[in-house]
Structure 1
Amino acid sequence: MPHPLDAAAVRSWCGLALEALGRERERIDAINVYPVADGDTGTNLYLTLESAARAVEAAFDGHGSAGTTPGLTDAIGAMAHGALIGARGNSGTILAQLLRGMTEVLTAADGSGDALGQALRRAAASAYEAVAHPVEGTVLTVATAAADAAATCAADRTAGPAEVARAAHDGASAALQATPGQLAVLGRAGVVDAGGCGLVAVLGALADALCGEVSATPVAVRADAPLPQAAGCELAGRAADGCGDPDGPAFEVIYLLEAGDAAVARLRDRLDGLGDSLVVVGGDGLWNVHVHVDDAGAAVEAGIEAGRPYRIQITHFGGAARVKEPAMTARAVVAVVPGAGLAGLCAQAGATPVAVRPGEPPASGELVQAIRQARAREVMLLPNDPDLRHTAAAAAEQARTEGVRVALIPTRSAVQGIAALAVHEPGRSFDEDVVAMTAAAGATRYAELAVAERQSWTMAGVCQAGDILGLIDGDVAVIGSDLVPTAMTVLDRMLSAGGEMVTLVLGAGVPDAVAERLERHVRARHLAVDTVVYHGGQHAVPLLIGVE
């Protein structure tokens, strides 16, 4: 029996789509040869939809506590927002924009078949707008075919949303089978587009939710034409030689960004010059940015100039010779960092960074996902925060059940993480590397300069709101009124016990002149001590200090 397009249908759609992508995930991963043959399109779509589903459930929970039920606007808006903040990879980012496009129409519509047709047409158009250089034979083509089929069905004013959704699914399925003839890399591999395959599964779930009849028919992933003899691609986790561009960018960079429209327009231009596969989705001050680049640090810095980037994900494709399933490396490092600049620094050093926003510590599942993305048999996990000790331990335990050997290095600050990363050597034995990194972290005293939010008692006395607090090894040791003099006092106290190297990590908005004054102070008062400066980009803490 057909169901109306309302909040309950959106909730059902999320659940059915998540089930469908769960069934299809590995098959979609196995045919992922474009734009990068990295074998994760199905997984990225699943994680994106999972975030969308959680947001919808939260909307229902919120209304339930008030004794009400959400409307269509609330539900579809939550789904789109959840997808935006949880979007993974090129495919997940485009799916988030498709949902946002639907939301733009459905929040002001009546849930009719005609409204659904208009929503799918807006979704396809907005996805094209979000992609810097659209390519036919991809999920964009499939989305357009779905919208066209839906519009044709909706032209019959007697068609309800269930019929329109089924027409969209049928149109997308037909278009998907044509993608190998539109995109050469798919034709050589003998497969359909992976992102388009995922969209067909999602649209099938929408049709099932509205029709009230669930079908679990798998999406066809092979092309109608036979596999060419000279395809040069092998599926199911084996090498995909020739399917990707061996000279393409080495990193995938994704982050959420708080910025205005004008700043984002400038950001698009800059990132378009740095790399490819650029997709920027969102609006109303919140954006999800995705790009493939060789210089991950530059991509993050561009975000810092545009606004406030966070939840930064930087994934290395495995070098110039990228494959469909990147080869497992022997050992990798996963590091939690508090700022965009530190995320870029870690990525350039070969680590997988997990950049966090103040007040939003990562969950253990996020750390597990970062360990998986590192694609290594052995992983060094650097929490870089004493409050993340239990979270990191839970993530490490989960990863071990998946066959990854994980060592939790007890880093309590980002500067200890930098010290540990500096001595990391994949060529030596695992245990020796653990000992060396742990020793380097332990030999680094850490401090941070923070701004007091309110009057309170500290180990150094009473502080007032706005005071500069100098914390050494986690305890307030100095209270001052100005950043530089307070930092000088902290440095003198730390170096009174000796030291060979000072690391300064500047927070967002802290000028280089601060570092220059502190460097001069160290040279004048502590002759044999070297100083190194990094632009961390962290917002909550103006200055981090490490003394080795």
Structure 2
Amino acid sequence: MPNTLDAATVHAWCEHALDALGVARETIDAINVYPVADADTGTNLYLTVESAAQAVEAARAGEPTLAEATAAMAHGALLGARGNSGTILAQLLRGLADGTAAGGDLRSALDGAARLARAAVARPVEGTILSVATAAAQAAAEAPGDDADVARAACAEARAALAATPDRLPALAGAGVVDAGGYGLVVLLQALVTALTGERPTEPLADRAATGGEVCAPGTPAPDGRPGTPGGPAFEVIYLLDAPAPAVEVLRRRLDALGDSLVVVGGDELWHVHVHVDDAGAAVEAGIEAGRPHRVRITHLAGPAGGAAPTVVPDPVERAVVAVVPGEGLARLCTEAGAVAVTVRPEEPLGSGELAVVVREVHAREVVLLLGGPELRHTAAAAAQQVRAAGVRVAIIPARSPVQSLAALAVHAAERRFDEDVVAMTAAAGATRYAELAVAERRSWTTRGVCEAGAVLGMIDGDVAVIGDDLTACAHEVLDRMLAAGGELVTLVLGTGAPDGLSRLLRDRVRRAHLGVDVVSYAGHQPSPLLIGVE
């Protein structure tokens, strides 16, 4: 195992952290009593790290440096941050990225991370994730040895600081638990130790026997009436904000006057804003005055009225298909075929928690998950694990392209037994060859040689088969290669960058050169200009 933090270790760190938080998520949710007892800190941390991991995975194609890998990790966390603790974690990772970009070692990076995170919180409270981060940074600064030794020292001191959080925060002492956000940070530091050394430290303790208390149920008021009880603000407001730094300073003051749990993280004119308020509209309006808020999320908390109104749950259905696709047009096609469609966008990675919510809300006893690409397999597996715990039967169709998902949907038959239906859909997806036309974003090496930025890539079954300058010419060549092995039906899915008339040109070519082959085309509105399926 490496003893020094590098880009490969950052990738391994993300994988270990995601696995560990997946295991610890329910425990962290259960001890979440501060600042709001809404039982979601573990889930929020998982989704935040999942977004960071996806960004690091995407950056691997460019063989990143350590600074580039940590910058990707921080940016992904910023875009996907959830809740109070997830937002603070995003700032911790930004501090780590700033430290590595400046050429610092792990000691200085952890110190900068703790300082930056504390500065992002309007009213820092001891006994929280901030205290755990500060303790870890102080231990790291004094630790001799290489990065592995530094990580061990930081992790050990973080565990000790976590155990002491009830002594510093009465809300935790009254509930007999340690801080949920701090617990998550210890899990993250343990994953760093594992990535550097291969060691797997034991899980920290979630409760505090010394307090004599028991872990309270989510929503139970803390005995001292501090924030986090049902008497707090009614709404959690989160949004990304494009704004200059001076405008953000004004925004901080306005939001601090409106509510509590204010955390504003980010930089370079992209910020993540988190606040608990009674007037959600005012919090959003303040963001509009500062810049351009987007990806706004407003969640009802346990407010003075005793929580949100009960929802009406429809009667469950026997079976449903949930299709994850990369374009609105593809989503409409799947919906018309009877599936529940989830649209994903490159700038908004889909979290497993979000997908699990969608699967639960179809209220089906059996669910087939159709994926639009291999990059979603970990997300789908984690979502399926969460839903299966509630007794729902879930099967994942391993489609590697949206055209394979369409082929699977075409043979779906709800009247068949579940296993038979899954086998038939999987076989249809596997029997469909797929191709994608894309434009290269950067210069890189491929199996067909060097690809310059702006070149057109024709990929067949996931491998680069054609490199050219003209999208239409490359599409013709890709289609000819695919049909050289035979085929009866060609499916064309046109993306946002497809040139006018491309569908007609390809249809005419098939009719002239490949007699007896049918062609269907759809407007998918996916990012890549063209998807091709051959059955």
Residue type matched to 2:205 in 1?
A
Q: Within the alignment, does 1:240 sit opposite 2:215 as a pair?
A: no
CA deviation vs aligned residue, 1:239-287 (integer Å, no higher than 9, x gap) = 5234633221111010111000011011101111111000000000100
Matches within 5 A, 1:234-383: 234-235=216-217, 240-242=220-222, 244-320=228-304, 329-330=311-312, 368=355
Residue type matched to 1:311 in 2?
R
The answer on whether the counterparts of 2:54 and 2:349 sit within 8 Å (CA) in structure 1 is: no
Question: 1:321 offset after TM fit, Å?
Answer: 5.5
Q: Within the alignment, does 1:124 sit opposite 2:124 as a pair?
A: no
Distance in 1 (CA, whole Å) between partners of 2:109 and 2:156 is 17
Distance in 1 (CA, whole Å) between partners of 2:76 and 2:163 is 30
Give the SS at the match of 2:207. Answer: coil
Question: Aligned residue for 1:70?
Answer: 64
CA deviation vs aligned residue, 1:22-67 (integer Å, no higher than 9, x gap) = 1110000000000000000000000000000000000002x1xxxx
Distance in 2 (CA, whole Å) between partners of 1:367 and 1:101 is 27
Distance in 1 (CA, whole Å) between partners of 2:203 and 2:351 is 32
Cα 1:309–1:241 change in 2 (3 A) is: same
Give the SS at the match of 1:76. Answer: helix
Q: Which residue, out of 96, 101, 111, partners 1:102?
A: 96
Cα 1:310–1:365 change in 2 (3 A) is: farther
The answer on whether the counterparts of 2:3 and 2:146 sit within 8 Å (CA) in structure 1 is: no
Give the SS at the match of 1:85. Answer: helix
Distance in 1 (CA, whole Å) between partners of 2:115 and 2:158 is 15
CA deviation vs aligned residue, 1:58-93 (integer Å, no higher than 9, x gap) = 0002x1xxxxx2110110110000000000000000
The answer on whether the counterparts of 1:28 and 1:41 sit within 8 Å (CA) in structure 2 is: yes
Distance in 2 (CA, whole Å) between partners of 1:15 and 1:146 is 21
Cα 1:308–1:23 change in 2 (3 A) is: same
CA deviation vs aligned residue, 1:269-307 (integer Å, no higher than 9, x gap) = 111111100000000010000000111111111111111
The answer on whether the counterparts of 2:51 and 2:76 sit within 8 Å (CA) in structure 1 is: yes
Distance in 1 (CA, whole Å) between partners of 2:96 and 2:173 is 31
The answer on whether the counterparts of 2:47 and 2:351 sit within 8 Å (CA) in structure 1 is: no
Give the SS at the match of 1:280. Answer: strand
| Superposition TM-score, scaled by structure 2 size | 0.59
Q: Within the alignment, does 1:182 sit opposite 2:168 as a pair?
A: yes
Cα 1:42–1:363 change in 2 (3 A) is: closer
Question: Aligned residue for 2:208?
Answer: 223
Question: 1:362 offset after TM fit, Å?
Answer: 8.6
Q: Within the alignment, does 1:142 sit opposite 2:132 as a pair?
A: yes
Give the SS at the match of 2:263. Answer: strand
Matches within 5 A, 1:504-523: none
Distance in 2 (CA, whole Å) between partners of 1:81 and 1:264 is 18
Q: Which residue, out of 121, 124, 133, partners 2:123?
A: 133
Give the SS at the match of 2:164. Answer: helix
Question: Aligned residue for 1:436?
Answer: none
Cα 1:214–1:247 change in 2 (3 A) is: same
Matches within 5 A, 1:472-483: none
Question: 1:330 offset after TM fit, Å?
Answer: 3.2
Distance in 2 (CA, whole Å) between partners of 1:364 and 1:190 is 31
Q: Within the alignment, does 1:55 sit opposite 2:49 as a pair?
A: no
Give the SS at the match of 1:75. Answer: helix
Give the SS at the match of 2:231. Answer: coil
Question: Aligned residue for 1:521?
Answer: none
CA deviation vs aligned residue, 1:126-169 (integer Å, no higher than 9, x gap) = 1110000000000000000000000110xx3xx10000000000
The answer on whether the counterparts of 1:38 and 1:322 sit within 8 Å (CA) in structure 2 is: no
Give the SS at the match of 1:37. Answer: coil
Distance in 1 (CA, whole Å) between partners of 2:10 and 2:387 is 36
Distance in 1 (CA, whole Å) between partners of 2:168 and 2:350 is 41
Question: Aligned residue for 2:38?
Answer: 38
The answer on whether the counterparts of 1:191 and 1:223 sit within 8 Å (CA) in structure 2 is: yes
Question: 1:361 offset after TM fit, Å?
Answer: 8.0
Question: 1:378 offset after TM fit, Å?
Answer: 8.0
Residue type matched to 2:119 in 1?
E
Residue type matched to 2:312 in 1?
A
Cα 1:359–1:137 change in 2 (3 A) is: closer
Question: 1:227 offset after TM fit, Å?
Answer: 2.7
Give the SS at the match of 1:330. Answer: coil
Question: Aligned residue for 2:154?
Answer: 168
Question: Aligned residue for 1:83?
Answer: 77
Residue type matched to 1:227 in 2?
G
Question: Aligned residue for 1:192?
Answer: 178
Q: Within the alignment, does 1:4 sit opposite 2:7 as a pair?
A: no
Distance in 2 (CA, whole Å) between partners of 1:225 and 1:363 is 41
Distance in 1 (CA, whole Å) between partners of 2:91 and 2:186 is 16
Distance in 1 (CA, whole Å) between partners of 2:199 and 2:207 is 23
Distance in 2 (CA, whole Å) between partners of 1:183 and 1:364 is 31
Question: Aligned residue for 1:26?
Answer: 26
Question: Aligned residue for 2:426?
Answer: none
The answer on whether the counterparts of 1:20 and 1:216 sit within 8 Å (CA) in structure 2 is: no
Distance in 2 (CA, whole Å) between partners of 1:223 and 1:242 is 15
Question: Aligned residue for 1:487?
Answer: none
Cα 1:254–1:77 change in 2 (3 A) is: same
CA deviation vs aligned residue, 1:463-511 (integer Å, no higher than 9, x gap) = xxxxxxxxxxxxxxxxxxxxxxxxxxxxxxxxxxxxxxxxxxxxxxxxx
Give the SS at the match of 2:210. Answer: coil
Question: 1:208 offset after TM fit, Å?
Answer: 1.3
User: Which runs of 5 or more structure 2 residues have no equivalent in the other structure?
Assistant: 315-342, 365-379, 393-499, 502-535
State the Cα RMSD in Å: 3.3
Question: 1:234 offset after TM fit, Å?
Answer: 2.2
The answer on whether the counterparts of 2:174 and 2:211 sit within 8 Å (CA) in structure 1 is: no
Distance in 2 (CA, whole Å) between partners of 1:366 and 1:224 is 31
Residue type matched to 2:250 in 1?
R
Give the SS at the match of 2:64. Answer: coil
